[in-house]
Amino acid sequence: MPEKWFTGVVTKIVEETYNTKRFWIRVPDRSSFDFKPGQFVTLDLPIHEKMNKRWRSYSIASHPNGTNEIELVIVLLEGGPGSTYLCTQVTEGTELTMRGPLGVFTLPEVLEKDLFFICTGTGIAPFRSMTHHLHNHGIAHPNIYLISGSRYEKDLLYKEEMMKLHAEMPGFQYIPTLSREDWSGRKGYVHAVYEELLADKRPANFFLCGWKAMIDEAKQKIVAMGYDRHDIHLELYG
């Protein structure tokens, strides 16, 4: 059965960075919006006459909490009709046509191997959902490494929140990595970080979310390190 479309109402918008907004969307027809951390919703936006050119999918950035409200984090892409509409036309109270939850980019049933969450930009959204879910429910987990790549520190999303989790959550490491800015943290690209951490070639599960170029390179490097492609799970942006 194809997923049915329903109406969501924007209840709150917060400017997270100079080019990124957080949107809280409530689904009035549901008492709770149930989803698995890592899943996404698809929005049908009034940006084109052809149906399939109106659809935009976004990972749910919030964790399942029993309410009928979810959070999305959206970056304004230059020349991107979907993000331009959302970031410049949508206000609190705007109704959006949407469907979901969708997708199988979710945590393994059994958490045995170390987890490497590798992302760029808004690709942190599903990992934020997964990490909070594990933490809130006290779910036993192996080591988790959240390697978040951006160009500049101002681009890092949920930085303070992730640093707090890093301090509070045993076995969780948040490793922000900047490619264009000299700072006190990791410099360069995300690939060098997981290559260093996995010099011992221990068993690992890889979750990749972000821009295609990063994901393509990561897939090649991870397989070259000797890991099976079945250890790699991905969600592509753009």
- What residues make up the domain containing 131? 114-237
Let me know whether 80 and 188 are in one domain: no
Domains of the chain: total: 2
The reported pLDDT for the residue numbered 2 is 58
Q: Is 50 part of any domain?
A: yes
132 membership: H or E segment, kind and range: helix 125-136
CA–CA gap between residue 26 and residue 8 (Å, rounded): 5
Same domain, 122 and 233: yes
34-80 confidence digits (pLDDT tens): 999 999 999 999 999 998 899 999 999 999 999 999 999 999 999 99
Answer whether the bond into residue 101 is a cis peptide, omega within 30°.
yes
Determine how many CB atoms are found less than 10 A away from the CB of residue 32: 12
Mean pLDDT of the chain: 95
Q: pTM for the whole thing?
A: 0.96
Half-sphere exposure at residue 40, Cβ-oriented, CA atoms within 13 angstroms: 22
Domain's final residue, options 47, 77, 102: 102
Contact 25, 9 (CB under 8 A): yes
Residue 172 belongs to a domain with what CATH number? 3.40.50.80
90 and 127 in one domain? no
Does 3 score more than 80 pLDDT?
no
Domain co-membership, 22 together with 98: yes
- Check pLDDT > 70 for residue 188: yes
- Kindly state whether residue 1 falls inside one of the protein's structural domains: no
Strand 186-187 to 95-102 pairing: unpaired
Indicate if the pLDDT at residue 4 is higher than 70. yes
pLDDT of residue 52: 86
Which of 102, 133, 164 is the last residue in one of the domains? 102
| 74 bridge partner residues | 21
Residues 6 or more apart whose CB falls under 8 angstroms from that of 147 comprise 116, 117, 118, 119, 175, 177, 190, 193, 194
Task: Provide the angle, in degrees to the nearest 10, between the axes of the packed helices 125-136 and 159-168.
Answer: 30
> Do 88 and 145 fall within a single domain?
no
Query: How do residues 112-154 score in pLDDT, each as one tens digit?
Result: 999 999 999 999 999 999 999 999 999 999 999 999 999 999 9
Q: Return the residue matching tokens 């109406």.
A: 7
Query: Is-contact 128 208, C-beta < 8 A?
Result: no
